[in-house]
Amino acid sequence: MLIKFRFIILILIAPIAGFSQRLGLIKTADFADGKLSGIPFSAQLNESYAAVIKSDTVRFPGSKSLRLEMRYQDYSLLKRRAEYADSLIKQGERWYGLSIFTPKTYVADTVPEILTQFHAKDQSDPFNSPNVALQVKNGRYSIRVAWSTDGITKSTFFHMMAGL
C-alpha cells in the first residue's frame, strides 16, 4: 500500500560538543533515554507516529534523534502540525540550535512547508505568525521573515542567526 506523505522531516536536537557548557543554557534535548516524556518542550502531536525517537539517523555520536511526521490524511483545521514547542519567552535574548535531516524519499509539497519556526511578540500581528521560519518552497530551503508592516522598531535590537 503506497502512502503519500505530506512531509517526513527528521529533527535532530542534540547537544553540540561543548554546547552544554555555554553560559545561560536553559534546555537541551538529546533523546538519550529514548523517551518522549522527558523532552522539556510541549508537544502538539495528533497521531502516535507523529513523533518517534530514532537511533539509526543521528547527527552527533551517541545521540538519538526525534522524527516528526505528518501525513496528508492528518491535515485538517484542527490537526495541522507535528511539533514540539517551547513557551513564549517574553524578555531577553535566546539562542536555539537544531539539525534537520531530509531523507531521500522526501518529496516537496506543492505549497510551502515550515520546518522550524521562531516566534517573538509583534504587537502589529494579531495572528502571531512565526517571525522567522525555515521552510521548503519550490523544492528549496528559504527563510521567511515576517514582522511589522509599520517598519522597523527603533531603539531596540533585532537579532537573527542562521547556519546553513
- pLDDT tens-digit profile of 15-74? 343 444 555 566 667 677 777 766 666 677 777 888 888 888 777 666 788 887 777 776
Distance CA 10, CA 31 (A): 13
Cα-based torsion angle of the residue sequence 113, 118, 119, 124 in order, rounded to the nearest 10 degrees: -60
Whether 136 contacts 115, CB under 8 Å: yes
Closest CA to 84 of 4, 125, 29, 147: 29
Give this prediction's pTM. 0.61
Main-chain phi, psi angles of 69, to 5 degrees: -135, 140
The pLDDT-based confidence of 104 (bands split at 50, 70, 90) is confident
DSSP state of 76: S
φ, ψ at 158 (rounded to 5°): -120, 120
